[in-house]
Structure 1
Amino acid sequence: MTSGTYEPLPTSSTSPTYPPLPGPPYRIRHHKTQITPVLILKYAAGVCGCLVLFHYVLIGAFPNSAYTRYTTSSRNRYGVGSGYDGHTGYASAAASAQDVLDRIDPSAGQPGTYFRDSFPLRTMVAIWELAEKEVKARGLDTCNGQLGRELVDAYHSSQLGYCVPPGDSLTTFVPDPIRNGSHTSHVSAENTAEGKDMGTSIFCSPVHRAEFSKWWPYPAAPCVSKNLRTIPNAQSERTFGAAGCEITEEGIKLNNEMGRERFLGTDTVGVAQENDQCKERIERTLLIIGRQDQWNPFHVAEDLITTLVSVFIAVQTAPALIESRVQLVFVEGFGMDQNHFTPLWDRMGAWAPRRLSLDPWAEGTCLTNAIHSVGAGASLLSAMGVGTSYSCASTITWAAAHYYRHLFGLLPPSLSLPANLLESYHANERPRRPINVLWLSRAKLDDYAQKHNDWSNWRDVRHILNEPELIQKFKSELSDLCRDPTNSADFGQTGCIYEDATEIPENWSFTSPETLRENDPLPIRFMSLDPTVHALENQIHYVGHSTILVSSHGGALGLSLFLPPGDGTLIELQVENVAGNYHFEHMAKECGHNYEVLHINREVDVDQVWASLRKWIGNVAKSG
C-alpha cells in the first residue's frame, strides 16, 4: 500500500480477514497445561459454587447468629424476598418526593424548568396580536402606526422577486414544503425528478418603495428564500449561491438602491450548472441573523426588535412558514466565548442556534426555507433619530418585550392573572401589587475598566462619584416612608412595609397581585443590581419583576425591554454630556411606560433623585 492511499474494507457477508499485527512475531512458551479463558471460568464457577453451599450450611447450623440476622434483614430492606410489592415501593418513593417538594421554598421557582420555543414565528405573531389589543385598549398614540403593523404592511407592499427561476411568478413566493421535519436529509436524483423543484427563489421587501415608509433613514430589504446553496470557506460566512434563477430587473434596481448596505442580494452569487445539485438539505425554516452585539444590552435590544420586524414581514410573504419549526443561524463571528446573551438566543427555535464561526456550512448544503434578518444601521429605537424626542407607542416593540420576557417565564398579565383579577385588568384598572424599585449600577463595571486600562473619556463623563450615598438615600427614605402614618393618602389604611431585597432577594419575585390580601400592607422593595456580576437570567428576573427602574444613561438601560409592557416606570439620570440622547425614552414610550429624565452632575444631588422616585411611587400606588 503506497502512501496516501487506502484499501477498501471487504463488502462480502463472510467474516473479514485482517492483516497481521505490526511488529515481530511473539514466542509462546508451551507447558503441559496451557492457561485458557475456558479453564479460568471453570475454576471461578467451582469457587462460587463452594461459597454458596457454605452460605446455606452456615445459616442452617447457626440460625440465631448475627450473620443470619443481617442477611435476612438485608433482603427485606431492599425489597427482595417474600411479600415485596414493586408498586408499593414506587408509591412510597413518590410520597417521599412530594414531601420534599412541599418543603421547598416557593420563591425558588419551579424545579427542573426548561423552555425552548420550537415555533417562534407562530408565537411572535400571536403575541403581536395581543400587543395590538393592549395598546388599543390603553388608547396610546401610535403615530399612525409608523412603528407598527402599518410599517410592516408598507414593507410588504413593495415585495419583489429578486431572483426567480425563468417563468415563475414575480409576485408570489411559495415556500418549499418540509419533507420530513428532520435535522437534514440527503438528496438524490430519484427524489428530485423535477429540476425546477431545486431552483432558488429570493423575494425581498424594500422599505423605501412605499410612500408610507420613505421616512426610514437607511435602505433595508429583508428577504425570504428557498433552496439557497451555501458557499463554504468563502471570505464571508454569509455568502449564498443561487441556482436556476435569474436576477430580475427590479432586483437589479434594488441592488443599486441599497448602496453599501448589506442584504441578501449583495451576498448572493450564481452557482455554475455543474455545482447546482444539493448534496444535503436542511429541512427546517432558518432565521439567519446578521449583525449581533454580544455585550451591550441596548444594542442587543435593537437586534431583538429588528428580528421581529423581519419575521413579521416574512410571514406576510409566506404565511405557511408560521407553522414550521425554526432554527436560528448566526453569522459574522457570533460565537459563545464572550457572548453574554447566548442564554436568551438559545431559547428560540427547536434546535440550538447554529454559529457559522464554529460550525460552518458544508459544501453542497441547501437551505429549504430561510428568512434573512437585516440590521441596516437603524432599529425601531433609533429610526426617527436619537436626537429627536417622541412619544409614539410601537406594537412591535411592545410585542418584542412580551415575547422575550415569555422565554424566561414572564407571561403577560392578561395570560397569567386569575379570573377575578383579569376582569379589572381588562377594564384598564391596575390590580394592587407590591412596588419593586430597582437601581441599575455601573460601579463594578467602572471599577473594572479603570483597573484594566479600559477607561475612556466617554466612561469618565458618565461616572457617578457618590453612588453609595445615593443608594443609602433610597434605602433610608423608603424605610421612613413606610413608618410615617401620614402617607395613607398614597397607600391607604393598610400603609406600606419596606423590604430590602438586597438582603432578602428571593422576595423580589413576589409581585403577583394575588399574593396580596385586602388588609395586607403594600410591600415596597429596593434592590441594587450591577449587571456586570450577574448572569443574564438574573438580570432579566430582576428587571422583569420591577415596577420602577432607575439608572444613569448607559447600555444597561437596554434591559428595560424586559419591564412589563405598559406597566413600568423608567427614571433616567443624564449628565450634561449625554443630554439630548433619547435612546431610552424611545424604548420606554414605545412600550407604554412612564418616563422621566433627570439632568444631573457627576456629584449627584441625592435629594433631587429621591424627590422624583417618591413622586412615582405615589403615582404607582394610587393607580393600583
Structure 2
Amino acid sequence: MQDNNPYRPLPSSVDGGREYPPAPIIPRPPSSGAQSVFPPPSASSLAVSHLLPLTATPLSLLHNHSKARRWSVRLVIKYTLVTVVVVILSHFFILGAFPGSTYSTANRDRLSSWLHTSSYIDEEYTDAVDEALKTLTPLDPAITQPGIFFRDTHPIRTALAFWQLAEKEISEHGLDTCNDQLGRSLVEAYHSSQLEYCVPKGVTTPFRLTASVDVPINASGLLPDHWRPGDLVPPTHVACTPVHRNPSSKWWPYPAAPCFSTNLRADADERSKYHAVGCDLTPDGMALNEEMGRERFVGVDTTIDGDDDHGEACRERVEHTLVIIGRQDQWNPFHVAEDLITTLVTIFIAARTEPAFIDTRVQLVFKDEFSLEGNHFTPLWDRMGAWAPRRLALDPWTEGVCLTNTIHSVGAGASLLSAMGVGQSNTCTSSITWAASHYYRHLMGLQPPSITQSRPGGGTGSINVLWLSRSKLDAYATKHNDLGPWRANRVLTNEPQLLDRFRSGLQDMCLGSGPGSHSLFANRGCIFQDAQDKPESWGSSANEDGPVNVRFATIDPTVHSLEDQIHFVGHTTIMISSHGGAMGLSLFLPPGLGAMIELQVIEVRGNYHFEHMAAQTGHGYERVEIDRRVDVEHVWDRLRYWVELVVKDLGLE
C-alpha cells in the first residue's frame, strides 16, 4: 500500500562524511501509485517477434478481432461510468446523512481551505512576491561604506526577495532540501493549518488587514485618514496558523502557533496581555487553546470581551504594522541566531496568510525584559523596521493603546537549527535559513556573493581562515568564579600552540607556489597575510588574475563589537572554533561558500546546532573530536584538508 503522507524523516548525519560541497540529490520521478495496464514487452519477446516471418492475415480474422476489440472498449467504458456514478452518489449520501462524521468534516475543511486560498490569496501573494523580488535590483553598493546607517522600512518585502534568491542559489548548487521540509513547504504547512481564532460578529470572510496608513481602503489604493480619538475602531479579528496540525512537517519540537490580529487592545504596563473586543472565540480557537497546553501564544494572553466598544476605549491607535517578538537571549550568538531565523519564519507565514502585509512599514516590538545597554545585538535589531524597535520593558503600553495590524511571533526556545528536536541531526539545506543569512548580512552592509561577484572586480581571490577564540571569555569567567563544568570542559590548554601551527602551516602552503611548482597554487601562486598585523586587509578584494591571498585572523567575540564580529565573519571562507555559542555567528558567513570546522570535546557530543547551520546555509562541515589539550597536528591536518577542498571548489588553484 502506497504511503501518501508527504512527510519523510530527515536523514541522519551522525556518521556523515566530509564531502564538500554536498553531493546533489538526483530527483526521483513522482510516483502516482498506478501500474500500467499494458506491461512493457520483455527483451526475449521482442527478440522472438523480430525473428518470426511475416505472414498474411485473413480478412475475416481481422474483422472478428475488430468487433471483439470494440465490444471490450464498450464494456470498459460502461463499467467505469457505473463505478464513477456509484462513488459520487455515495460521497454525497455520506455528506448528507452523516454531516458530523470525520469524512464529512474533512471534506468541508478541504473545500473551505481551497476556496479561501484559491479565490484571492494565491494570485495576490504571487504578484506581491514577484514585485518584492525587484527589491534586489537596485541594491546600493554605498551601503557598505563606513558610517552609512540605514533602516529596512519594509523588512517583509526585502526578506521575501532574499528568500527567492536563496531558492535560486540552492537550486544552482544542487543541494538536498529534504523535500523542502525546512523551506517553502514548511510555510505552506503553517498556512494550510490557518484557523480563525476570534471572529467579529457576523463576519464570514477570512482574516484580512484593517485599512491603515499602508493598507488601502479598496482596490483603488485610497488610504484612510489618520485616526483621531473618538473615531470608530473596528472589532478585533485574530487568526492563527498552528503547524502541529499539519502532518507534512514535524520539525518543531513542541506546539507552536504564530497569530495575526487586527484592532487588538493592549493592556497598560503589560508586555503580553491584550483584550479582544467585539469578536467571538470560535470552536477552532477553543480547540487550539487545548492543543497548545502550556505553550504560550497570543490566544492564552488575550481576554475576549464579546461586546464592541466601537473604539471608545482607544486613546491612541498604532496604525502601522507591528511584529511582536519574545527573544530568548541578548548576547549568546547562537540563541540570537535562533531568534533571528524564527522571526523570518513568522513574517514569511504572515505574508502567505495576508499578502497585504508585504508592502507595509513595520516596527518590531520586544516583549522580553532585555534593555538597550545589555543587548549586544541592538545594532542589528535596530536596522529592521521603519522605526526603532519598541522595548516594552523600557517603553510599556499606555492606557487605551489599540494595535491596528499585528504579527505575533512564535515563542522563543526552538528554531530551525534544532529541527526535529535537540540531539537529532540532519543534513538538509533550508531556503529560510539561507535567506536569513542573506537578509541579516544585508542589514549590516554585506551583499550576496552571487550579486557582487557578477560585477567587474567582484571575483573571489582570497581564502580567509578565521579562528573564533574563547580564551578571554574563559579567563573572565574564571576570574569571576563563573566558569562552571560546562565551560571548564571546553577550555583549551594549548590554544597558542594551535594558532602558531595554523599560521606556519598556511604560510608554508604559499612557499614555492606559482607556475612550475607542485603546490596547490601552482597556476596563480599565493601570498600569506596575517590579518592580525594588517586587520584592514581582511575584507579587501584581490586581483582576479594575481596571486591568491591566504589570510589568517583570530577574534574573541567577548572583546569585539557586533559590527566588528560580523565584518570578520562576513568575509570568512573557513571558520574554525571550539564548540560554543560564538559559532552562531556562522549565520553571517556568505551562504553557499566555504566551510565550518567545529572542535568538540566528548562532553558536548550530541550538539548538532552548528552542523545544522552549515547544512542549511550550504557550507562544508566537519566535526573534529578533541581533548582539552589539542592534538595540534591532527587539527592542522583537517584545516589543510578543507583549505585544499575550498580552493579547488572556488577554482583558485
Q: State whether TM-score is above 0.5.
A: yes
Residue deviations 1:40-68, cap 9 Å, x none? Answer: xxxxxxxxxxxxxxxxxxxxxxxxxxxxx
Q: 1:197-276 residue pairs with structure 2 within 5 A? A: 197-214=233-250, 216-234=252-270, 237-271=271-305
**Residues of 1 paired with 2:145 and 2:620: CA distance?**
32
**Residues of 2 paired with 1:150 and 1:188: CA distance?**
43
**Residues of 1 paired with 2:142 and 2:577: CA distance?**
26
- Partner letter of residue 367 of structure 1? L
Matching residue of 2:321? 285
Equivalent residues of 1:185, 1:280 under 8 A apart: no
Q: 1:107-506 residue pairs with structure 2 within 5 A? A: 110-169=145-204, 172-179=206-213, 187-189=228-230, 191-192=231-232, 197-214=233-250, 216-234=252-270, 237-271=271-305, 277-375=313-411, 377-419=413-455, 432-485=460-513, 488-506=518-536
Residue deviations 1:317-376, cap 9 Å, x none? Answer: 110111010000001212112111111100000110000000001111111101011125
Secondary structure in 1 matching 2:298: coil
Offset at residue 454 of structure 1 (A): 0.9
Matching residue of 2:99? none
TM-score by length of 2: 0.73
Offset at residue 208 of structure 1 (A): 1.3
Equivalent residues of 1:433, 1:522 under 8 A apart: yes
Residue deviations 1:406-448, cap 9 Å, x none? Answer: 00111112222344689xxxxxxxx542000000000000000
Secondary structure in 2 matching 1:117: coil
The correspondence for 2:633, drawn from 574, 586, 607, is 607
The correspondence for 2:611, drawn from 573, 577, 585, is 585
Offset at residue 508 of structure 1 (A): 0.2
Matching residue of 1:525? 551
Matching residue of 1:516? 543
**Residues of 2 paired with 1:284 and 1:341: CA distance?**
24
**Residues of 2 paired with 1:517 and 1:568: CA distance?**
18
Offset at residue 477 of structure 1 (A): 1.5
Equivalent residues of 1:433, 1:516 under 8 A apart: yes
The correspondence for 1:568, drawn from 563, 584, 594, is 594
Offset at residue 474 of structure 1 (A): 0.8
The correspondence for 2:574, drawn from 530, 545, 548, is 548
**Residues of 2 paired with 1:215 and 1:415: CA distance?**
32
Equivalent residues of 1:469, 1:606 under 8 A apart: yes
Secondary structure in 1 matching 2:244: coil
Secondary structure in 1 matching 2:363: strand
Offset at residue 291 of structure 1 (A): 2.8
- Partner letter of residue 445 of structure 2? G
**Residues of 2 paired with 1:433 and 1:570: CA distance?**
19
Equivalent residues of 1:186, 1:279 under 8 A apart: no
Change (3 A) 1:257 1:276: farther
Secondary structure in 1 matching 2:260: strand
- Partner letter of residue 313 of structure 1? I
Change (3 A) 1:211 1:111: closer
Equivalent residues of 1:449, 1:455 under 8 A apart: yes
Equivalent residues of 1:241, 1:270 under 8 A apart: yes
Equivalent residues of 1:187, 1:278 under 8 A apart: no
**Residues of 2 paired with 1:111 and 1:552: CA distance?**
31
Equivalent residues of 1:438, 1:543 under 8 A apart: yes
Change (3 A) 1:108 1:502: farther
Equivalent residues of 1:392, 1:590 under 8 A apart: yes
Equivalent residues of 1:219, 1:257 under 8 A apart: yes
Change (3 A) 1:218 1:180: closer
**Residues of 2 paired with 1:320 and 1:487: CA distance?**
61
**Residues of 2 paired with 1:211 and 1:544: CA distance?**
37
- Partner letter of residue 494 of structure 1? R
Matching residue of 1:3? none
Secondary structure in 2 matching 1:584: helix
Offset at residue 292 of structure 1 (A): 3.0
Higher Cα Rg, which structure: 1
Change (3 A) 1:111 1:577: closer
- Partner letter of residue 268 of structure 2? P
**Residues of 2 paired with 1:532 and 1:293: CA distance?**
15
Equivalent residues of 1:576, 1:600 under 8 A apart: yes
Secondary structure in 2 matching 1:527: strand
- Partner letter of residue 497 of structure 1? I
Change (3 A) 1:361 1:543: same
- Partner letter of residue 610 of structure 2? F
Change (3 A) 1:147 1:382: same
Secondary structure in 1 matching 2:436: helix
Equivalent residues of 1:282, 1:365 under 8 A apart: yes
Residue deviations 1:90-117, cap 9 Å, x none? Answer: xxxxxxxxxxxxxxxx999624311210
- Partner letter of residue 531 of structure 1? P
- Partner letter of residue 516 of structure 1? N
Secondary structure in 2 matching 1:228: strand
Offset at residue 210 of structure 1 (A): 1.3
Gaps of 5+ in 2: 1-140, 216-222
**Residues of 1 paired with 2:646 and 2:506: CA distance?**
15
Equivalent residues of 2:250, 2:420 under 8 A apart: no
**Residues of 2 paired with 1:341 and 1:522: CA distance?**
34
**Residues of 1 paired with 2:591 and 2:388: CA distance?**
28
**Residues of 2 paired with 1:258 and 1:121: CA distance?**
27
Change (3 A) 1:567 1:491: same
**Residues of 2 paired with 1:421 and 1:517: CA distance?**
7
**Residues of 1 paired with 2:314 and 2:234: CA distance?**
8
Residue deviations 1:363-413, cap 9 Å, x none? Answer: 111111010111253210002233222110000000000000000111112
